[in-house]
Amino acid sequence: MNKKEYTEKYRRQVAELFSSVCYVCDKKYGKRFHFHHVRYRDNELVYSDFNSNDNYQLYVLPIIQNRPLDFELLCNKHHYLVEILKQFKPERLDKLFCITRRSISWMPKLTGTWKELFAHLTSMITFSFS
Ligand SMILES: [Zn+2]
């Protein structure tokens, strides 16, 4: 077993600590998944400190095994989103989520008559229980 095969096997084993699914969407563990480092401790190295992905994996996987609560397993799409979103200040992040929720098509807009709004909400409730 070469180094790359070893780290892949090791990653699969560590992913089981997270039920082998993305924290956000429950996608089953596979290629291009990330152990997102939620909380760093003092003097911990980061990905860019390493000259190869395998060397980083061999450094970080035992840390994840010891402190799984400081990490989350994410699919590539959700890891990418988290990396972007974490660049925003909390108050901007709140506004971004607020406007995103308001913009989602299944959310009733506060326009139209109360009867239309009631019909919309009723259909959502029926849908969610069926
Ligand atoms: Zn996901």
User: d(Cα 43, Cα 110) in Å, to the nearest integer?
Assistant: 50
CA–centroid distance, 66 to ligand 1, in Å, is 24
With 50 as the cut, is the pLDDT of residue 130 above it? no
Q: Give the pLDDT score at 111.
A: 63
Return all residues near 68 (Cβ < 8 A) that are at least 6 apart. 17, 18
Q: Is the pLDDT of residue 127 over 50?
A: yes
Task: Give residue 27 CA to ligand 1 midpoint distance, Å.
Answer: 6
> Average pLDDT for residues 2-24, to the nearest whole number?
96
Which two structure tokens, joined as six digits, stand for 22?
């993305």
Are 54 and 90 spatial neighbours (Cβ–Cβ below 8 Å)? no
Domain extents in the chain: 3-123
CA of 19 to the centre of ligand 1 (A): 13
Angle, in degrees to the nearest 10, between helices 53-66 and 3-15? 30
Q: Any idea which residue has 């039920």 for tokens? A: 19
Say how many Å lie between the CA of residue 23 and the centre of ligand 1: 7
pLDDT at 118 over 90: no
56-115 pLDDT tens trace: 999 999 999 999 999 999 999 999 999 999 999 999 999 999 998 888 766 555 666 777
User: How large is the average pLDDT for residues 47-55?
Assistant: 93
Q: From ligand 1's centre to the CA of 117, what distance in Å?
A: 32
Structure confidence at residue 90 (pLDDT): 93
Q: What is the DSSP letter of 39?
A: S
- Rounded-to-integer distance, Cα 46 and Cα 75, Å: 19
pTM equals 0.76
Which segments within the chain are labelled E, that is strand?
Answer: 34-37, 71-74
Q: Distance from the CA of 83 to the center of ligand 1, in angstroms?
A: 13
Q: 114 C-alpha vs ligand 1 centroid, how far in Å?
A: 36
